A = this chain, B = another copy of it.
């Protein structure tokens, strides 16, 4: 869409008249709250109003949506947050909670003049317990810092993803962040043992706990995991840890077709079973913009679409298979047996046509190099042109259909040129989570792509038992497509829950669900 970030904000939602304008009276109140040190943190909060200082809080990291908050509130503990939200609820002031500001769906930045409630100052050193195998962290702790604190004690933090250097625990929990180790270690719903949350009405819900089993009444923490800060603000969390794997192995495969990927996945489950920690798939096209030369790639479709062929399936797929284990020799044995079994079963299809043998990483440096290929994809694609990103999921046997379907739409129905617009698929195969990316290399097909892709891609998800959001959430970007993944009865209950918990709709408005009166 050829819109400025400010226009795009308004395109998604007009400012609701239900919210009050922020006045100096309000700001004085916030000053008075934040200048008192919290009893828990012993620290004062902060308030930013300087235009330059608040600029980065007003726009998402992709610079697509820009709001106009007049102030960023920086509490240091739940008591601060509680006083702020009680006041905002009473005064009908809209608030957007923000931690690392790495949302992919416009879920964490102001759309109009909402106050920003930043978790930055809630960042005490995480407390790692070897005995309970858990970590307690405040919501402003950066993911990577948390991972490192756990690793120091020989324990593994279960979440790992590209934005680890900026995303924060509060956002990770609120958005039910996924990442590459999801299939092995599970979701935030599985790993969060306890939370401290301040509800939209300002009540502090202390549900902190490191208990593994706790069936005492409704488990309400799940309401706040994945609801993207629309029901409450997560201020602390206790998260389950795992033994730090002492052995990490990696293998890379090149396969001739998608059916072979599925077969390889089942073989991996049989042979690697409890060691399997990641199974990442990248189609041949997803690496065409990469400067890496470690793995040969070329851009051809099965039937050579460049010559008018009609089969838009990739000519090959790369697969990264990772193991996490406690015994290097055992894991290497398992991986070797797995490779042999794959060679026996898949034969010619395994080497992508006979040329490329599987690579078993021989060193930490090579492992890093191979992972860099996968992790570099989003960045290289984004720098290759105007990018459209879709984070969707399917039952794993239908993982790749959406990519082929999108190629068909663009190349066959819209007669676009595969040399100008590329359509790639990569992602977390074990979770059925495919990242479909469309890149307009010439940056000149924006309007045509908008018309062709929205809502066609999401409709394809709906028609194929998929989800319009695998791990990125809904935010503002997918709000109006929610009905494609949820029935009207389910959306009605979401709306009822929101209305009950946030009667004035002040918390993260315009996100996930439309404002009630404006439906």
Contacts and interface: CB of A to CB of B under 8 A. Distances in A.
Interface of A: 129-133, 175-176, 178, 182-183, 186-187, 189-190, 199, 203-207, 209-220, 222-223, 225-227, 231, 243, 245, 262, 266, 269-275, 324-327, 330, 333-334, 393-397, 428, 430-433, 465-474, 478, 482, 485-487, 489-494, 496-497, 500, 512-513
A56 to B, nearest CB: 25
A369 to B, nearest CB: 25
8 contacts: A176-B219, A182-B212, A199-B493, A203-B493, A211-B470, A213-B433, A214-B470, A217-B490
A190 B186 CA distance: 7
Contacts of A243: 269-270, 273-274
B216 A187 contact: no
Which of A327, A468, A500 has the most chain B CB atoms closer than 10 A to its own CB?
A327
Given A187-B213, A272-B326, A274-B324, A397 B131 contact: yes
Given A178-B213, A326-B274, A478-B216, A490 B131 contact: no
A474 B178 contact: no
B206 A490 contact: yes
Contacts of A394: 211
Given A132-B397, A212-B433, 13 more contacts: A131-B262, A132-B396, A175-B215, A211-B465, A212-B431, A213-B467, A213-B471, A215-B474, A217-B512, A245-B274, A271-B326, A274-B325, A327-B333
Contacts of A222: 189, 219, 222-223
Given A189-B190, A205-B493, A325-B273, A470 B213 contact: yes
A394 B211 CA distance: 6
A428 to B, nearest CB: 7
Contacts of A189: 189-190, 219, 222
Contact of A474 (B216, B231, B269): B216
Given A189-B190, A212-B433, A326-B334, A217 B269 contact: no
Contacts of A430: 212
Contacts of A496: 500
Contacts of A207: 487, 490
A79 to B, nearest CB: 13
A217 B513 contact: yes
Contact of A215 (B178, B270, B397, B487): B178
Contacts of A190: 186-187, 189-190
Contacts of A471: 213, 215
Most buried by B among A133, A218, A333: A218
B213 A219 contact: no
A215 B209 contact: no
Contacts of A497: 218, 220, 497, 500
A337 to B, nearest CB: 8
A323 to B, nearest CB: 9
A469 B216 contact: yes
Nearest to A468: B216
A205 B326 contact: no
Contacts of A225: 219
Contact of A211 (B133, B206, B432): B432
Contacts of A500: 496-497, 500
